[in-house]
């Protein structure tokens, strides 16, 4: 292969004004370091040219110099190899380009979409609450109106009828006079991302929930105690704590095994959860011990609540080894004080529970009411 004998570059080839109409409209460079602008593919030949936005795209496509645009087939090939869906609209929001990934993510072929408005029973974006964005806070319409990029998490309408979660990013397209003549939208299937987020939420739940009973675990209980004490000192929001222990639990474990022991703990946990109000907190402190953290303004409200927990636990039972097992619990209960720490509060209520054990079990022991 021979080399050129001189270093003079060949003259640039110019393109007459009536250039091939299949060439595109230049987009703004993605960054200041871009050497060549991206090009917007032309609208279809039958796209109405009466609209100013469509006309601007057509005229710019016909008059663009060859040196300022990429080869149309090469350009389309690049976009068709992207994993993200890409489509381009004119100023009237009519679709003029639709890549292969857009077909895959939405189920709509390019020939079903090009020339139509994006809101004509195509994507019909809705937000997470199901509210339609077309005709309202649509990211593409916002980009065309403001001239600024927009992005949003939305759910698009798939050809088969279901909704697909996508992350939408819209970039307005401008002509030489800096007028917005269209927009480019890139969207990515967010299904995997949402699955990952759900998994994260599940892991968070596992980190704070007891796997046997489904109520809060020791860590969640400690965090809740500290948070309620902070609120008591800052806002004066009073609360009570109940420390609940299953009576004769060691005997149950020894006689029936740990599997039955877990069933007992699960039954007691569910019974206690049903005894409390929806805004009360119940956690498994460890083994057969539970704590309840209950917002409470009046000391007089604590005795009936604590006794309800005791009485409902007494009326619970399960079948094991051909026997019906009736269980009881011993409870200590106290109002929290602003001077308490979690450790001091737990020590006090644990001692009250122990007094219930010494007094014969299946009872509640409380601190004296505040004066």
- Write out the two tokens for 34: 């871009």
Write down how long the chain is: 371
Number of neighbouring beta carbons within 10 Å of residue 88 = 26
Q: Whole-angstrom Cα distance, residue 43 to residue 31?
A: 25
- Write out the two tokens for 229: 């004490």
Angle at 98 between CA 97 and CA 99, to 5 degrees: 120
Number of neighbouring beta carbons within 10 Å of residue 81 = 10
Task: Decide: 306 and 331 in contact? Cβ < 8 Å.
Answer: yes
Q: Whole-angstrom Cα distance, residue 27 to residue 37?
A: 6
Half-sphere exposure of 64 (CA within 13 A, CB side): 29
Closest Cα partner for 366 from 314, 340, 331?
331
* Long-range contacts, stretch 142-149, CB < 8 angstroms, 24+ apart: 142/170, 143/170, 143/171, 143/172, 143/183, 144/89, 144/91, 144/93, 144/172, 144/180, 144/182, 144/183, 146/172, 147/172, 147/174, 147/180, 148/172
Task: Decide: 232 and 241 in contact? Cβ < 8 Å.
Answer: no
Q: Whole-angstrom Cα distance, residue 28 to residue 176?
A: 10
Task: Decide: 293 and 256 in contact? Cβ < 8 Å.
Answer: no
Tell me, yes or no, if 51 is annotated catalytic. Answer: no
Q: Whole-angstrom Cα distance, residue 277 to residue 194?
A: 32
- Which residue is catalytic, options 90, 210, 247, 288? 288
Q: What is the largest CA-CA distance in the chain?
A: 110
Active site (catalytic) residues: 288
């Amino acid at each position: 292969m021979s080399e050129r004998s001189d270093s003079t570059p060949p003259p640039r080839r110019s393109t007459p004004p009536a250039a091939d109409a299949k060439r595109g409209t230049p987009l703004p460079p993605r960054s200041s370091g871009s050497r060549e602008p991206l090009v917007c593919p032309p609208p279809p030949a039958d796209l109405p040219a009466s609209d100013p936005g469509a006309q601007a795209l057509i005229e710019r496509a016909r008059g663009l110099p060859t040196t300022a645009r990429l080869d149309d087939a090469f350009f389309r090939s690049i976009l068709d190899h992207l994993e993200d869906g890409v489509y381009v609209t004119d100023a009237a929001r009519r679709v003029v380009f639709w890549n292969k990934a857009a077909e895959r993510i939405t189920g709509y072929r390019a020939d079903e979409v090009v020339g139509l408005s994006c809101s004509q029973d195509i994507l019909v974006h809705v937000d997470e609450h199901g509210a339609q964005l077309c005709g309202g806070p649509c990211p593409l319409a916002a980009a065309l109106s403001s001239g600024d990029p927009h992005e949003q998490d939305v759910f698009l309408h798939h050809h088969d009828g279901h909704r697909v979660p996508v992350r939408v990013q819209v970039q307005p397209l401008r002509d030489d006079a800096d007028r917005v003549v269209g927009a480019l939208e890139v969207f990515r299937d967010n299904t995997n991302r949402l699955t990952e987020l759900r998994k994260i939420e599940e892991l968070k739940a596992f980190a704070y929930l007891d796997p046997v009973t489904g109520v809060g675990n020791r860590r969640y209980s400690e965090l809740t105690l500290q948070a309620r004490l902070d609120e008591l000192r800052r806002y004066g929001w009073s609360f009570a704590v109940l420390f609940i222990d299953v009576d004769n639990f060691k005997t149950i474990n020894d006689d029936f095994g740990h599997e039955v022991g877990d069933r007992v703990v699960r039954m007691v946990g569910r019974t206690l959860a049903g005894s409390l109000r929806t805004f009360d907190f119940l956690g498994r402190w460890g083994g057969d011990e539970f704590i309840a953290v209950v917002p409470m303004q009046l000391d007089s409200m604590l005795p009936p609540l604590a006794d309800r927990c005791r009485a409902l636990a007494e009326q619970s039972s399960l079948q094991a080894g051909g026997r019906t097992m009736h269980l009881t619990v011993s409870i200590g209960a106290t109002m929290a004080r602003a001077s308490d720490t979690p450790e001091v509060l737990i020590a006090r209520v644990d001692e009250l529970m122990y007094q219930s054990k010494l007094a014969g079990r299946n009872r509640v022991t409380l601190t004296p009411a505040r004066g």
